[in-house]
Structure 1
């Protein structure tokens, strides 16, 4: 009887440990391929599109949630939302840092325009939800139904040659 009780308690503890461990881990790695500079844009003085290429991290960070982030090389993390006055920009690099969202925001990493590739490691904690993403060719009704159910203020529309962040 005593051995059976110890076995049940041990098995239950192991199962709980595995379940809590799997809930805490939300770490990912993103490989970003840098773009090469475009001499036409550089010499023309135009900046349209020059600093707008970004990679989404697939989440909406609710106010107070955190992202632990590091990158193999220097880069820029943007927390974008629906108010230019509350959007934030952070410099990232090899040293891991934790960033707290002051407002509901969507994290993006800017694409380097000097041709360098970077690897970004990140982990979310706190209240986050998946970013509603529509890829060209997806079922529109299914996307809209899922977006409506999520009650998210944000969505990302991805076409063949563009991304549009709805906020």
Structure 2
């Protein structure tokens, strides 16, 4: 494997693991700034900065590509974060669907609640029992729908 390929594989490994850590805990990814060294750069860049204190490889990468802007491949931008999250989302949903298909019973839960901006968010979750004698059913969040966007797309109900 070439040095360049190995280098970028190591970068991606650290970035994907950081994103998996943050998303598995439901933590926000981005902050109000996308600048390394900023206190408002969010959990993703903050985690990479923390890892860089103990990992010389990622430290050197961040120094080399720090705040270079558009057109420079670094795999630390919000755009690449979003792309990785969408890929991981697709994989997770496929696994959830596979689990649900292998169960005898499941239920679909639909709920709506306003967010902080007072726009209703429609949530769909699925609950199922993994084994016959599980004490608690597994519940998997599937999707959020912004009801305002649905109304604009399909027309608001008159009910």
Q: Same fold (TM over 0.5)?
A: no
Q: TM-score, normalised by structure 2?
A: 0.21
Which structure's residues are more often helix, by fraction? 2
> Which has the bigger relative contact order, CA under 8 A and spacing at least 6?
1
Q: TM-score, normalised by structure 1?
A: 0.20
Which structure's residues are more often strand, by fraction? 1
